[in-house]
Amino acid sequence: MHTMLTLDLSHLDGFVSQEQLTAMADEVAAAHAKLYDSSAPGSDFTGWVRLPEAYDKEEFDRILKAAKKIRSDSEVLVVIGIGGSYLGARTALEIFPSDGPDICFVGCSLSPNEIQKVMRRIGNRSWSINVISKSGGTIEPAIAFRIFREHLEKKYGAEANSRIYATTDKARGALKSVADKNGWETFVIPDEVGGRFSVLTAVGLLPIAVSGTDINELMAGAAEAMEKYDLRSMDNPVWQYVAARNLLYRQGKKIEIFCNYEPSYTFFGEWLKQLFGESEGKDGKGIFPASVQLTTDLHSMGQFIQDGERILFETVIYVDDTGCDVAVPHCDDDGDNLNYLAGKPMSFVREMAFQGTLAAHHDGGAPAMVLRSPKMNARTLGELFYFFELSCGISGHVLQVNPFNQPGVEAYKKNMFALLGRP
């Protein structure tokens, strides 16, 4: 077993006690069991729980082959998708930038500027499209796909069909029909895996594989996490995290701020916000997920976290070894008075900022949990994805909501389509 994350609860001192955590065991156990109970709310959408071992190996090989082809025939890959069909791949790409094609994301807004920017970015280079939509009918990616497909067909004619990869439902939806009609290579988003839990399906895996990141390692990290975090006791860090965040919520800490100290993890915060926001925010309940990037946001949001309304707690994702370090140089004149740090690595300065911030926020009434990852690699990212997916599934059941539906997102669509005059 190589899983490596550690959860530190010491900064909950005075807010959540060991006794309170222990007392949550039965509640968390019952919530965990619901993920395997076919009569539990949302039980049709728990395919992600065993996904790291139960994924389609034949399709996985096709993903690797398609990625190889795209890397060899395309200087640009345009990935079209939104929400759960976008955030996971973008998260991984921000952490591990592509060493192959330039990968652009579009279809995650209704901004004509974004379309134009990506068009310019493609320029005269060779390119392909990966369009991702489980329903096949979401308006943002559908419009973007219509535009980029036309653009691709103008350049390549009939060859365009071998440059479009569609990730969608196995049988239903407009995208599946048009893909079959045109002979595009398709990848499946399994019925039992909802969008925000789909990063370890072709939704995330194809763009990640094209970027050059080892998706075998990503899946291996998730598989190890799946085994390790299935432990049914309060020794399980997932149980501790779930219990603590629900205890904090019950004492009025209604906002969870996901913090990171590594800018390339900023998008991980976006992925987490969708995961928890869409899973828990319903029936008038839920912890509001927010995110900050530190130390950057200590100079913007730091004031509120330290001193504003005491309704928040922090969950810090801290990566120890980000793969490089830079020492503070010595300067003879020491005009900036920084020679006391000369020779010290920036990672040391960051660690001290992190420790100082944790203590200050705790003293100011903002408790924190720290999830530490020793390294920044595909394996730990796989583990992180799974840690939070499992935490979210269990936590939603502790909160007594259906963590796997999203009825609230329909309301605006109804109004929008009425205004657009959809027949």
Q: Which residues bind ligand PA5 (CB under 6 A)?
A: 82-85, 133-135, 138, 141, 194-196, 278, 406
Beta carbon nearer to ligand PA5, 340 or 412: 412
Strand spans (E) along 42-82 = 76-80
Judged by beta carbon, residue 19 or residue 410, the one nearer ligand PA5 is 410
| Shortest CB 274 distance to ligand PA5, Å | 6
User: Both tokens of residue 42?
Assistant: 């949302």
Give least dist CB 206 to ligand PA5, A: 14
Question: Judged by CB, which is closer to ligand PA5: 342, or 409?
Answer: 409
Distance CA 398, CA 60 (A): 34
On whether the CB atoms of residues 271 and 91 are closer than 8 A, the answer is yes
| Intra-chain end-to-end CA distance of the chain, in Å | 55
Minimum separation from the CB atom of position 268 to ligand PA5 (A):
16
Nearer CB in complex with ligand PA5: 149/196: 196
Give the start-end residues of each E strand in 155-252.
Answer: 164-168, 185-188
Side chain identity at 362, as an amino acid letter?
A: H
Residue 196 or residue 397: which is nearer to ligand PA5 going by CB? 196
Q: Which residue is nearest to ligand PA5 (CB)?
A: 195
Q: Which is nearer to ligand PA5, 204 or 365 (CB)?
A: 204
Helices (H) and strands (E) in the chain, counts: 16, 10
Could you tell me which residues come within 8 angstroms of residue 14 by beta carbon, excluding any fewer than 6 positions away? Answer: 362, 367
**Alpha helix ranges (H) inside 266-345:** 266-280, 302-307
Nearest to residue 104, comparing CAs of 75, 133, 84, 83? 75
Cβ-contact 87, 107 below 8 angstroms: no
CB of 235 to ligand PA5, least distance (A): 31
| Beta-strand pair 312-321/6-8 | unpaired
**Closest Cα to residue 396, out of 244, 287, 233, 271?**
287
Look up 299 and say whether it is catalytic. Answer: yes
192 catalytic residue (yes or no):
no
- In angstroms, give the least distance from the CB of 390 to ligand PA5: 16
**Side-chain half-sphere of 409: how many Cα atoms within 13 Å?**
11
Dihedral angle of Cα 390, 396, 400, 404, to the nearest 10 degrees: -90
Provide, rounded to whole angstroms, the least separation between the CB of residue 45 and ligand PA5. 9
Residue 413 falls in the annotated catalytic set: yes
Which residue lies nearer to ligand PA5 by CB, 186 or 406? 406
Distance CA 276, CA 293 (A): 18
Query: Cα separations (Å) of 65 from 60, 171, 210, 213, 330?
Result: 9, 22, 10, 14, 50
CB of 272 to ligand PA5, least distance (A): 13
Q: 40 or 142: whose CB is closer to ligand PA5?
A: 142
Closest-CA residue to 104 (of 95, 112, 150, 120): 120
DSSP 265: G
Of 58, 299, 410, 414, which is the active-site residue?
299
CB atoms inside a 10 Å sphere around CB 273:
17
Rounded least distance, CB 200 to ligand PA5, Å: 14
Catalytic residue among 140, 185, 224, 278: 278
Q: Catalytic site residues?
A: 278, 299, 413
